[in-house]
Amino acid sequence: MADSPAQRAMAEMVGTFLFSFLGAAAFVADERSGGALGIGGVAAVHGLALAAIVAALGPVSGAHVNPAVSVAWALAGRMRWPRAVMYVLAQLLGGVAAALAAAAVFGSDVWRRARLAVAAAQPERAAAQIILEAILTLAVTLVYFGARIGEGQRPAAALAVGAAMSAAVFLAAPLTGGTLNPARAFGVALAGSVWENHWLAWAGPLAGAVVAAVVGALLAVREARAKE
């Protein structure tokens, strides 16, 4: 029996909540331990968390847990726009819930980390940040396409997506704050009134989504021709 729209939306909300909360926890744990985790540890937490979420929720909704991935999926014709909009709304709710939960557990450290991310997102270097986050989002989204997440995915698909996310966070965290997820950034912005440079949290990932959609559509055409 196919999963209902409500089940898919719930999967996206829960998945985004878990990914955003665990990501925030990783940054806070690293700061409170004096850098014991390091950027490699923080990136590993993000990757392992996403891999687990994809393994658990991928068969239900595809486990996009990121508006950029859902937009790319719709642009590439792999999902209808009404469902993509539903996914994005569910992801935004998950991001807000995660920010509130993180604030309740970790207190002001969450907002301090958010301010650090905002400081890393410098408007005068907006073009460089957008390009970097677009490329990293492209890389992660193409793994979603190639691994066919939610479409009879292979057992290794979750690990592949997680590995791509780990690499992306490892590179982005020290340069742009490492959000790479508009829903996660929106949750922090809304819950903590951290709106400075917020548009940058959307610009890069969405630009990457557009490029990923074009590449994904071209690869799908080539795959279809190969089967003829």
Q: By residue range, what is the domain housing residue 87?
A: 5-227
Confidence of residue 225 (pLDDT cuts 50, 70, 90): very low
Query: Is residue 1 scored above 60 in pLDDT?
Result: no
Section 65-72 average pLDDT = 96
Confidence of residue 129 (pLDDT cuts 50, 70, 90): confident
How far is C-alpha 198 from the geometric centre of its chain's CA atoms? 15
Lowest mean pLDDT among 156-160, 189-193, 201-205: 189-193
Confidence of residue 111 (pLDDT cuts 50, 70, 90): low
The predicted pLDDT at position 197 comes to 80
The predicted pLDDT at position 166 comes to 96
For tokens 């969450």, name the residue. Answer: 110
DSSP assigned state of 65: -
Nearest to 181 by CA among 72, 92, 74: 92
Return the sign of the alpha-carbon dihedral for residues 135, 136, 140, 143.
positive
The predicted pLDDT at position 224 comes to 42
The predicted pLDDT at position 168 comes to 95
Query: Is residue 78 scored above 90 in pLDDT?
Result: no
Query: Is residue 189 scored above 60 in pLDDT?
Result: yes
Tens digit of pLDDT for each residue in 144-154?
888 776 666 66
Q: The pTM is what?
A: 0.90
Query: Is residue 48 scored above 90 in pLDDT?
Result: yes
Query: Domain of 29: which CATH number?
Result: 1.20.1080.10
The predicted pLDDT at position 198 comes to 85
Give me the percent of the chain exceeding a pLDDT of 90: 54
The predicted pLDDT at position 122 comes to 64
Within 8 A by CB and 6+ apart from 148, the residues are 154, 157
Indicate the number of domains in the chain.
1
Three-state DSSP class for residue 1: coil
The C-alpha angle with vertex 207 and arms to 8 and 209, in degrees rounded to 5, equals 30
Section 74-91 average pLDDT = 95
| Alpha carbon distance 228, 145 (integer Å) | 21
